[in-house]
Structure 1
Amino acid sequence: MQILIAPDSYKDALPASDAARAIAHGIQRVLPEATLIRCPMGDGGEGTLDALLDATGAERREQRVQDALGRPCEAAWGWHAESRSAFIELAEASGLQQIPRDQRSALHSTTHGVGELILAALDAGAETLLLTLGGSATNDAGAGMLQALGARLLDAEGKPLAPGGAALAELQTLDLSGLDPRLAKLRVETAVDVDNPLLGERGASAVFGPQKGASDAEVATLDAALAHFADATAATLGDDHRDLPGAGAAGGMGFAARAFFGAELRPGIELVMQQVGFDALLAEADLVITGEGQLDGQSLAGKTPVGISRRAAANGVPCVALVGRLGEGWQACHAEGITAAFALADGPMALDDALTRCAELLSDRAEGVVRLFNARRG
């Protein structure tokens, strides 16, 4: 029997590699003779870089950059010398998990650090960039990234805009003449884990701004500021990408990647599956176990468990999801190939306890799943 173990990370608890190890431990209690293939996954959010490094053997590099609040931090990125490819995860430089809850500021957070990582990749000689979006603390539509790469965003007095999405309301001049010329030859692929547009009730500010510290009034401020930036971008470039599915990813970074780099926006889980050779692994599997922190109706927009379950269903392989929480609308995932889904908690439990015990709970649920699966096989 061969089981493919392909979880994403469990936010604030376990990276995907540790989650895969915990699931394998639970399975081995029941089926020590089973062939277990651990394949940590990601869909563009935090932890995707680790999955890509594991799959490709790319070199892990560190770069000192600004975090989302402009403070110095060390951010990892990946370099694959043979293919001249760089892997950059936005969350490494501008991630929400790096910012304490009481310090989160959607109005003023910046993607400047992502631009600094792109410069490091260009300095290394990158010809291809895979940029993964998700888990961001930012809502500036990539303005900070552009400034780091040499663009000038100026107000009516010709002064550079302050960091953050709110300052985009003051944009008078979008000067791209100073953009690093090496960008023109860089092929960019962008991995997104949502399909939201840039603006409106499903846009970056309305849907994701509150988790980044934005009040209702600040959401309205940000949405108007990003609309102004979209107008200026369309006037400068001649194309308008505000309604593109995925444009709202990572506070509008999907919009910036398409508008300024010509990047194709693809579901992150599809790009990661391609990089890890997922189809070849799936072809030999009798069962797939996946999971992440939460399964809900929004998982259908491109989250790891559903991306994997769709592929598994197409190949006739049962797929079980082990998740921290079953949220509203999770039942819709059954129609997308999730054979069964189980929450990890084994009783009433405080969040801190659940996070601390995540590995233990994963092992226990995995054991229960394979006991049922093995009984069904007779």
Structure 2
Amino acid sequence: MKAVKILIAPDSFKGSLTSLQAANAIERGILKVASCVGVKVDVDKVPMADGGEGTVEAIICAAGGRMVRTKVLDPLGRETDSFFGVLPDGTAVIEMAAASGLNLLKPEERNPMKTTTYGTGQLIKAALDYGSRKLIIGIGGSATNDGGVGMAQALGISFLDAEGKEIGFGGGELSKIAKIDVSRLDPRAKEAEIVVACDVKNVLCGPQGASAVYGPQKGATPEMVEILDQNLRHMASMIKRDLGKDVADVPGSGAAGGLGAALMAFLEARMKPGIEIIMEIARLEEKIKGADVVITGEGSTDSQTLYGKVPLGIARVARRWRTPVVCLSGSLKEGYEALYIEGITAFFSITSGPMTLEEAMERGEELLEKTSENVFRLYFSRG
């Protein structure tokens, strides 16, 4: 009897499950049904990410390697435990969310006028100290709007005010920049190959810029958004004057509160969709090609999923090989139907009845396992 080949490749369920926990829950549901109905299955799990929280774990699961623990400053400048990954070939994998992420702050602590990417720069420096000369940096989930200035400061770049003093932390300080001095930038950072995993195409400033689009979720009031946008515009003009680089209108420059712009301007980084990076490392197309069915999922599926999220990336590859794809989501919201044409066969919300968001997140593992079980009772019933 030929085994049914099932590929499980979910994103994390933000605030509830890592992508590995989600994959394990889905597998348990499948195996429960398979043992009951006597179907032989061959399950392959590939936890996914798109550059945000969980990127390091997903890439290490796909390629092997190890976690390296270190200490950095969090978005408010407090020391905290953090980490980065190192792959077998020495490539370092960093997720800025592990140092400068929104997940590190309480809701009342969110203030992009003050939050800094300094800890992300410390992670880059720690990876360079470890010996890595190729870095993959995921920049999703930021709590910051400082234009990546904190990151650059941690690597030796000075942002001086009119009196020649170093400016402080946070997006509120950028208007003080009178000179950018890159003479003390860590030379290893200039030599390194840096690839940024990012699914955001926003430019730095304006209505579609970092401050206007993402500032409010980081704690910015309308007044703050206006100031932050002006400050990023000023920073960009200083970069253009002192470095001769115009990054303000480059797609992705507005990612992570302008960290994308800083990585391109100061470290010559190149941007690439996070899902593409992980799919390449995991050789996912080869696995999709050989699968009978693919299961993916994420915390919330809506129109935003069309902008480079995990289910979209998987669906597009699966469509080429006519492999059916089932997406299990914490919730299905407006616009998810547009993903049918991209290659997703069916969607299922894992919530089993009326419940609060808190309850759904707390019961995420149980709900995902039960939904997976129900989906495969139907799938295996085809005979």
- After TM superposition, give the deviation of residue 55 of structure 1 in Å: 1.6
Q: In structure 1, how many angstroms separate the alpha carbons of the residues matched to 2:23 and 2:98?
A: 21
Within the alignment, does 1:101 sit opposite 2:107 as a pair?
yes
Alignment of 1:54-133 (within 5 A): 54-80=61-87, 82-133=88-139
Matched position secondary structure for 1:324: strand
Contact persistence 1:115–1:146 (CA under 8 A):
yes
- CA distance, structure 2, for counterparts of residue 196 and residue 234 of structure 1: 19
Shift of 1:275: 1.1
Work out whether 1:10 is the aligned partner of 2:13: yes
Determine helix, strand or coil for the equivalent of 1:87.
strand
Question: Any residues of structure 2 matched to 1:343-358 within 5 Å, and which?
Answer: 343-358=349-364
Paired residue secondary structure (1:190): strand
Equivalent-residue separation in structure 2 for 1:297 and 1:305 (angstroms): 12
Deviation, 1:186, is: 0.3
Please show how residues 1-378 of structure 1 align to structure 2 within 5 Å: 1-32=4-35, 33-80=40-87, 82-375=88-381, 377-378=382-383
Task: State the distance in 2 between where 1:367 and 1:17 align.
Answer: 18
Q: Which amino acid aligns with 1:60?
A: M
**1:246, 1:353 → 2: CA distance?**
35
> 1:125: how far off?
1.5
TM-score by length of 1: 0.97
CA offset digits 1:151-195 (Å, max 9, x no partner) = 000111211111011211111111111101112210001100222
Once the two structures are TM-superposed, the CA of residue 337 in structure 1 deviates from its matched residue by 1.5
CA contact (8 A) 2:190 2:268 kept: no
Q: Deviations over 1:51-86 (max 9, x none)?
A: 111122212101111011100001110123x52311
Q: Give me the CA root mean square deviation.
A: 1.2
Matches of 1:257 and 1:24, distance apart in 2: 38
The whole-number CA distance in structure 2 between the counterparts of 1:364 and 1:159 is: 59
Number of aligned residue pairs: give it.
Answer: 376
- Determine if contact 1:294/1:326 at 8 Å carries over to the other structure: yes
Letter in 1 for 2:10: P
One-letter amino acid of the counterpart of residue 8, structure 2: I
With over 3 angstroms needed to count, the CA separation of the structure-2 counterparts of 1:328 and 1:243, relative to structure 1, is farther
- Taking the aligned partners of 1:242 and 1:291, their CA distance within structure 2 comes to 34
**Identity over aligned residues, as a percent?**
46
Kept in 1: contact 2:101–2:141 (CA 8 A):
yes
1:136 and 1:87 map into 2 onto residues whose CA distance is 16
Q: Counterpart of 2:268 in structure 1: which amino acid?
A: G
Q: CA deviation at 1:270?
A: 0.5
Tell me which moved more, 25-34 or 125-134. Answer: 25-34
